[in-house]
Amino acid sequence: MSKGKLEKFSEISAMPHVFQNFNWKLPTLQNYKGEQVAMKGKWRSDFFKNDHPIVIELACGYGEYTMAIAERYPNLNVIGIDVKGNRIWRGAKFVQDKGLKNAAFVRTQIEQLLDCFEAEEVDEIWLTFPDPRKEHRRSRKRLTSARFLDLYRQILKKDGLVHLKTDSTLLYEYSLESLEENDCKIVVHYRDVYAANEKENLAAIDRNFDLATSVKTRYENIHAELGETIKYVRFKL
């Protein structure tokens, strides 16, 4: 029988690599000791204790990409961010069981990124199967809308990369338009990244294509079984 939400909340609250925000109006992160901690600008010095690049996975869900990056690339620091603690429990438990020291999780809203990171503190961002917000009136909540792109600009280093992986044709096409309208540079984009990989052997080119084609989230597997193609966009702000 799977663990209940309350049990998962209790477990992640005791994990040294999980930080939580319990007040959306006055956001402050709380560590496993119940202390309020200011991590903005201090992730490398106070938590990771190294100068390695920081990669964040937004709306990380169960943290599949956070887990994969942390395990495969020990010279990268990775932080999974999601508002739902019962989901990040899975990734946080994996990191704990594996003894990985280069991964953390933050339970907060993405709108509060500026409370968690300072300018140019982040080297890379992954958006892995975010909610496409199908209703037009909710398009501002799409993670590639202008308001979120502006947030990313404020924390991402110059020439830092952002990756979008989605099954949604709506979000894919919307994102391409939004990126063009907001003066972003699209590095590559594929309507079917797996077909492109099979044809061009993209995974052999660099770690970004390797991650894009070898790591599959729970949501990706669900939609792939329904016959959806998996889209991938890599861009700079």
Count the neighbouring beta carbons within 10 Å of the beta carbon of residue 136: 8
Backbone angles phi, psi at 102, to 5 degrees: -110, 25
Query: Which ranges of the chain would DSSP assign to H, the alpha helix?
Result: 5-13, 64-72, 85-98, 146-155, 169-181, 193-200, 207-214, 218-225
Distances (CA, A) of 224 to 163, 167, 220, 232: 19, 8, 6, 14
Tokens found for residue 4: 């209940």
- Out of 131, 150, 159, 183, the active site residue is 131
Tokens found for residue 86: 């019962």
Q: Is 206 a catalytic residue?
A: no
Q: How far apart are CA 132 and CA 30, in angstroms?
A: 30
Q: How far apart are CA 159 and CA 9, in angstroms?
A: 37
Query: Which ranges of 35-168 would DSSP assign to H, the alpha helix?
Result: 64-72, 85-98, 146-155
Give me the active site residues, please.
131
